[in-house]
Copies of this chain bind each other. A is one copy, B any other.
Amino acid sequence: MPGEFDFIRRFLSHFPRARVPVGPGDDCAVLAPQRGALCVTTDAVVEDVHFTRAAFSPEDIGHKALAVNLSDLASMGCTPRWFVCAMAMPKDFPARELSGLARGMAALAREHRIALVGGNFTSARELSITIAATGELSRPPLTRAGARPGDLLYVSGTLGDARLGLQHLRSGVKRGAAVRRQRRPEPRVALGRLASRFASAAMDVSDGLAQDLGHLCSASRVQATVELERLPMTPAVRKALGPEGALAGGEDYELLMAVPQGRGQAFERACARAGLRVTRIGHFSEGSGWVCRDMTGRVLPPPAGFDHFRAPSAGLTLRNSKAKPVTLLLP
């Protein structure tokens, strides 16, 4: 088995040399930001919580570990620049799987031009990857707190696919678009930057729209109304989960955006020109929390959110998402 420094060399060999004053190998990396403000985030993927080694390839795991961080950077409207990667892995972790992890991560890093500048390896009982990523802002950040009454509510892409993919993996289906969304979430980095020219607030949908929209409303002190029939879903998700399932979702890594009414059309046109899919699914008003409206105009209470540290209780069948793989994928 290779030693710690062989592991580090092997891992780094998959990434281009970072163009920073001091890169990997010293006690710290040294960065030279060009603009004023930086965004920084951290997120982890843990074996048997966010992935299993049976259902995910090493490349999938490496991709996902970086993707969840890029999604946070995307939601602030910043340009990804640098990341550090802390790996915890069993002592018998195979070197070829480490290369797979690095390949998956390096491919996504290349796509989004973010440089690996440092990291850490430690032994642990279970595999986990914790990344901290930094981006540069050229405009004020898109926080969760900027939505105002009257703003329009947009969401990118489609909802519920990752949840459906998880169901497929659980039942032994290992291919298809939904499974790919679960294994290889695509952070909406280009959209986040574009949205920073139009939106008043944004966040990424990692725990399911049901929960995350609640956070946005609470941070902005507004109420949201979601029109159920407008929720963007693939035919497969519509059939298998329906709008309630898509709302509960989890791991969609789409962006929720609040856009002032007068900027809505320009925003939609800019997205169309850039080939980025967004759907207006509702609006904000005075108040708190959020409600759904069905096709008949009837107002429904939102499905319950998701909480990483609570077991799903029997009465809340929609309590699904990020951590659900623990229940769903483990034998």
- Hey, which bits of chain A sit against chain B, CB under 8 A? 1-5, 7, 21-22, 25-33, 36-44, 46, 48-50, 71-73, 75-76, 78, 82, 84-86, 88, 91, 117-126, 128, 130, 132, 134-135, 137, 141, 143-145, 203-204, 219, 307-311, 323, 326
Contact = CB atoms under 8 A, between A and B. Distances in A.
Contact of A44 (B25, B48, B120, B141): B120
Contact of A27 (B32, B91, B203): B203
Contacts of A144: 25-27
Given A26-B76, A126-B124, A7 B49 contact: no
A124 B44 CA distance: 10
Contacts of A31: 37-40
A33 B33 contact: yes
A128 B88 contact: yes
A264 to B, nearest CB: 22
Contacts of A119: 42
A75 B27 contact: yes
24 contacts: A4-B309, A4-B310, A7-B309, A21-B141, A22-B143, A27-B72, A27-B144, A27-B204, A28-B72, A30-B37, A30-B141, A31-B37, A32-B37, A38-B38, A40-B82, A42-B132, A44-B86, A44-B120, A49-B123, A88-B128, A91-B309, A121-B308, A124-B128, A125-B125
Contacts of A141: 21-22, 26, 28, 30
A113 to B, nearest CB: 17
Nearest to A203: B27
Nearest to A1: B309
A76 B130 contact: no
Contact of A40 (B46, B117, B311): B117
Contacts of A32: 36-38
A43 B309 CA distance: 24
A127 to B, nearest CB: 10
Contacts of A1: 309-310
Nearest to A135: B28
A122 B48 CA distance: 12
Given A86-B44, A323-B123, A28 B39 contact: yes
